[in-house]
Amino acid sequence: MIRPGIERLFRLALRRLHPARAEVDDEVALHLELRAEQFVRQGWDPGAARAEARRRFGGRSSEQFLHRVAQERERRMRVAELAEGIGQDIRIALRGLRREPRLTGFIVGTMALGIGANAAMFGVADRLLLRGPEHVRDSKQVVHFYYSAVRKQAGEQVWGIVPYAAYDNLRTAAQRFEGVAVYSMSSALVGVGATTVPAPTAFVSGEFFPLLGVQPALGRFFTAAESEINTPQHVAILGHGYWRRAYGGDRGVLGNTLVIGQEQYVIIGVAPRGFSGPRLESVDLWLPLNIRGAQMYSTKTVHWTRRWNTSWLGVVGRLKPGVSLAEAGADATRVHSQLYDGTDDYMRTARMLVRPFPYESSGKETPEVSILRWLVGVSLAVLLIACSNVGNLLLARTVRRRGEIAVRLALGAGRARLTRLLMTEGVVLALAGGIAGLVVAYAAGTLVRGLVAPNVEWTESPLGATVLIASLAIALITGVLVGLIPAARAGRSDLTEALKSSAREGMGHRSRARGLLTVAQAALSVVLLVGAGLFVRSLLRVEALDLGFEADRVLSISVRWSRYPGNATAADSAERRRRLEYYRQALDAIKALPGVAHASRMEGPPPLEGAVSVNLKVPGLDSMPSSGGGGPFVAAVSGDYFAAVGTRLLRGRLFSPEDGAGTAPVTIVSKSMAERLWPGKSPLGECLMIGDGDSRPCSTVVGVSADVRRFGVTDPPSMSYYVPVGQEVGFGGSGIVVRPSGETAPLIASIKTLLHRLDPTVVYVDAGLLQDQLDPQIRPWKLGATMFVLCGVLALLVAAIGLYSVISYLVAQRTHELGVRIALGARSGDIVGLVVRDGMTMAAAGAALGIGLALLGGKWLQPLLFETSAKDPLVLGGVGAGLLAVAFVASVLPALRAKRVSPMAALRSE
């Protein structure tokens, strides 16, 4: 019996020469040969022996069977081998990475930041930018209507809050829309007695839900009868979040009643989770629009649906298929021009526009959304920096491993195999980074959600499926990317050269790739830091802005009753008088409270809470000049008002307690109003004719006050004037402003108690700092500043470490050369200079490139800044200098090490 010492042959190599078919043929051939030899030994003729062997083996079909089985086997082996190979690569990668735990930790950390930040940002952007409003069917076809008109001196004005009549016209005559619906955002008082709370409420027309294609989570939406204009039905739909909070998600809630504004409503449905209609705010209650219209806007003369002087609605429509925004706008404009039946020339000539659904009522994207777009870019930049830094470190590692790689190549590992190994390393690192990045993603997601859209009802957790998938995808892509950088380099490396010179490299031999990556990192960091600088400067400017009053020191107080008295009946008039009297008493009582420095009654809203204007005529002027800030706006105040809100009196006198109903009409005008109406003259003693009709009396100007920004920080100061309480004509809206002398929170509580005690029919007291109105306005800059600074500093840190590692690496590489230089008498200063110069060259190139990029990108960032140029030299210069300073430190540290190179040791290490 043949007992061969089985010699293993190199399976891999042989199998390439003999694929499955050939192997089978070889095996069969050997069998036939041996069988024939057997017959020959038994005395057969060789030819006959071969024929007999063939016959005994059977027909060709048996070989075909063997071929098929063998090929199948080979396929299975290939897959198994690939899996085994990859498993081996992963083991090699893990072993290598464990050997250098500090490097690995740094790389994983960097990747975690980059991947986590991007996954989080993707989660937020996906919801706010990409996916469109939740639950809205085919949201690309849904649009919001706006008016646009050009006002002299103020330029084009766009607004999206319109009267019911505008909607009524569109509904009856517009042809390019499948439907039109309206909504009005408001706040309704829910509950009875002391438990009454305001709840964000949307009043909507009957077509609203069907038009958007929303399905209720429970129950139903409004029927046609419930939405009928003249038959208001008290039915309510709960927002999903409110249903969960107030009713614990009880499915038996349908048919229950709810007290809203002291009236009973029947709950008929629950809106789906996360649905907030056209705005990024949560909505607790959805009520029929007709209730609000009848309550608020009924008058004796004109039915509320045909009034043009009350704008309170947003209009949305669904485009017919194939209709462009321009065509739809032209259609709406045509309807408006044909059917407008009001008296205002400005309105008559206004155009109508339609814009995509999620835009704000001003027709512009909210700054938060614009900033979100930037944040997506910023997080991508951070990821790029992280990638290039990791690529850089891996590259350095590859160079350190030149010996190992050369050996692997020499032993026959293919280039492809080597590339696969390096890519596996990259992917392993990136996946580890991706997993660690989930922590970052959760934190960043929570932060960004809170900052960008605090009122959005999020249906997915910050680590939801979207974010998880995004993390995985980003990790895989970055893994392959960072793996490719050293792989490209290793693929080029010259075998013999590498084997020979693993210890020392020639002096001019520096890695251009590493230099470029470092420059790119520095440039991106500069871009981010410039963004940070610009936002911080904007924020400082905003916060330092003189609004003309001290928003953080003024409490605005108003009282809500259950019903708005109309002006139809005698009882209504009596109720109005009673309420005015209530405010008079309330002011006296508040003034008597401890902790109150100043307090004043007001008719008309305080700054930031709105503005009213009435007809006004100035003797000697044909028309009212206008200013960019709008106006003139009027408010009726008592003498203590200016001290209470902190608006300075520039000339003349304040109102005295005697000024009021029945005394000589007087007025105080703001500085810019005085300058426009009576340029170059003293306004004191001039005359304003306030209200309608020619018989209106002359209000004498007795004082000039500082200018005030009525609406917000980005508006220029508006023209304003004040009259004493009691002399107001044709406007109202009572309130009280209070300046606390100490803590505000306890004062708010005692004021609320007091106002409820004075009149038990009071349903709710609104009391808060004017600053509360301001904070949402400042939020975009705060958001931009926070995020850019955070990302910028991170980027700078990562780039600095990158630079440090590159310089250290260069120093290590040039030890021999430096040793020779020192031996030849170079002073330590020369050596340090030599090394630092390398670092500074890269940093300077990065700074220049970064500043160039920042200048290019500036024109897109400009609209988000406040009184700051995107080319602000201070910011650009400061960031450039800052980068150079950091780069100096990062390169001086390794340079000092270079200085200590001992020439003997360096030469011996040869």
- For the CB of residue 49, give the shortest distance to other proteins in the complex, in Å: 14
Residue 63 found at the interface with other proteins (CB under 8 A): yes
Least Å distance between CB 48 and other proteins? 16
Q: Which stretch binds other proteins (CB under 8 A): 55-63, 489-497, 677-685, 816-824?
A: 55-63
Which of 8/512 has CB closer to other proteins?
A: 8
Query: What is the number of other CB atoms lying within 10 angstroms of the CB of residue 420?
Result: 18
The sign of the torsion formed by the CA atoms of 472, 477, 478, 484 equals: positive
Cβ-Cβ contacts under 8 Å for 284 (sequence gap 6 or more): 190, 199, 200, 201, 238, 239, 241, 242
Q: Choose, by CB under 8 A, the member of 62, 215, 299, 362 that binds other proteins.
A: 62
Q: Which of 407, 732, 384, 347 is nearest to 525 (CA)?
A: 384
Q: Is 7 in the site for other proteins (CB under 8 A)?
A: yes
Rule CB under 8 A: say whether 481 interacts with other proteins. no
Stretch that binds other proteins, among 5-13, 99-107, 290-298, 862-870 (CB under 8 A): 5-13
Count interface residues toward other proteins (CB under 8 A): 32
Q: Which of 31, 75, 151, 306 binds other proteins (CB under 8 A)?
A: 31
The 3-class secondary structure across 92-146, one letter per residue, is HHHHHHHHCHHHHHHHHHHHHHHHHHHHHHHHHHHHHHHCCCCCCCCHHHEEEEE
Contact between 3 and other proteins per CB under 8 A: yes
Closest CB 44 distance from other proteins, rounded Å: 14
**143 bridge partner residues:** 317, 356
69/885 with CB nearer other proteins: 69
Q: Helix, strand or coil for residue 777?
A: helix
Name residue 145's beta-bridge partners.
Answer: 354
Distance CA 828, CA 547 (A): 59
| CA–CA dist 192, 335 (Å, integer) | 44
Q: Least Å distance between CB 400 and other proteins?
A: 39
Nearer to other proteins, 34 or 621 (CB): 34
Residue 17 interacts with other proteins (CB under 8 A)? no
How far apart are the C-alpha atoms of 258 and 15, rounded to whole Å?
A: 80
Does 702 help bind other proteins (rule: CB under 8 A)?
no
Shortest Å distance, C-beta 21 to other proteins = 13
Which residues fall within 8 angstroms of residue 793, CB to CB, at 6 or more apart?
529, 532
The answer to whether residue 58 forms part of the interface with other proteins (CB under 8 A) is yes
Q: How far is the CB of 9 from other proteins (least distance, A)?
A: 5
- Residue 84 binds to other proteins (criterion: CB under 8 A): no
Nearer to other proteins, 11 or 500 (CB): 11
Q: Please name the amino acid found at residue 904.
A: M
Left (φ > 0), alpha (ψ -120 to 50) or beta: where does 153 sit? left
Of 8-16, 448-456, 611-619, 629-637, the segment contacting other proteins by CB under 8 A is 8-16
8 binds other proteins (CB under 8 A): yes
- Exposure class string for 359-375: b at 16+ Cβ within 10 A, else e: bbbebebbbbbbbbebb
Stretch that binds other proteins, among 56-64, 284-292, 501-509, 635-643 (CB under 8 A): 56-64
Per CB under 8 A, the segment of 22-30, 613-621, 756-764, 837-845 that binds other proteins is: 22-30
Smallest gap from residue 91 Cβ to other proteins (A): 24
Binding of other proteins at residue 23 (CB under 8 A)?
yes
Residue 150's φ and ψ, nearest 5 degrees, are -100, 125
Taking CA atoms, 834 is separated from 512, 829, 831, 895, in Å, by 18, 8, 5, 8
Closer CB to other proteins, residue 1 or residue 544? 1
Decide if 121 contacts 448 (C-beta within 8 A). yes
Indicate whether 2 belongs to the interface with other proteins (CB under 8 A).
yes
Contact between 550 and other proteins per CB under 8 A: no
Closest CB 16 distance from other proteins, rounded Å: 13
Q: What is the DSSP letter of 648?
A: P
Q: Cβ of residue 45: shortest distance to other proteins, in angstroms? A: 19
Rule CB under 8 A: choose which of 22, 26, 215, 299 binds other proteins: 26
Nearest distance from C-beta of residue 31 to other proteins, angstroms: 5
69 binds other proteins per the rule CB under 8 A: yes
Nearer to other proteins, 14 or 812 (CB): 14
Preceding omega of 632 cis (within 30 degrees of 0): yes
Q: Does 66 bind other proteins (CB under 8 A)?
A: yes
Report which of 359, 355, 426, 369 is spatially closest to residue 392, judged by C-alpha positions.
426
Segment holding 642, helix H or strand E:
helix 641-645
Size of the chain in residues: 910
Does 168 bind other proteins (CB under 8 A)? Our answer is: no
CB of 414 to other proteins, least distance (A): 22
Closest distance of CB 24 from other proteins, Å: 8
- Does 102 participate in binding other proteins (rule CB under 8 A)? no
* Residue 131 interacting with other proteins (CB under 8 A): no
- Which window, 19-27, 90-98, 102-110, 760-768, contacts other proteins (CB under 8 A)? 19-27
Please identify, among the stretches 32-40, 334-342, 408-416, 741-749, the one whose residues bind other proteins according to the rule CB under 8 A: 32-40
| Residues between 35 and 54 that touch other proteins (CB under 8 A) | 35, 38
Rule CB under 8 A: is residue 80 a binding residue for other proteins? no
- Quote the CA–CA distance of 403 and 807 in Å, as a whole number: 22
Residue 532 forms beta bridges with which residues? Answer: none
In terms of CB distance, is 72 or 581 closer to other proteins?
72
Residue given tokens 């997993």 in the structure block: 435
Is 11 a binder of other proteins (CB under 8 A)? yes
- The verdict on 6 binding other proteins (CB under 8 A) reads yes
Near other proteins by CB under 8 A: residue from 45, 48, 56, 573: 56
Number of neighbouring beta carbons within 10 Å of residue 549: 24
Please give the angle made by the CA atoms of 894, 896 and 897, to the nearest 5 degrees.
65
Which of these segments, 27-35, 565-573, 717-725, 889-897, binds other proteins (CB under 8 A)? 27-35
Q: Using alpha carbons, list the distances in angstroms from residue 583 to 208, 758, 763, 845.
A: 39, 10, 15, 68
Choice from 22, 30, 83, 874 touching other proteins (CB under 8 A) = 30
State the Cα–Cα distance between residues 574 and 561, nearest whole angstrom: 15
With contact defined as beta carbons under 8 Å apart, do 202 and 185 qualify? yes
**187 vs 260, 263, 313, 316, 361, CA distance in Å?**
10, 15, 14, 20, 17
Query: Binding other proteins by CB under 8 A: which of 39, 49, 70, 520?
Result: 70
Among 21, 25, 40, 57, indicate the residue that binds other proteins (CB under 8 A). Answer: 57
Whole-angstrom Cα distance, residue 821 to residue 829?
12
Under rule CB under 8 A, residue 252 binds other proteins:
no
**Closest to 180 (Cα-Cα) out of 161, 202, 207, 204:** 207
- Residue 661 is a binding residue for other proteins (CB under 8 A): no
- Indicate whether 621 belongs to the interface with other proteins (CB under 8 A): no
Q: Where on the chain is the footprint of other proteins (CB under 8 A)?
A: 1-4, 6-9, 11, 14, 23, 26-28, 30-31, 33-35, 38, 56-59, 62-63, 65-66, 69-70, 72-73
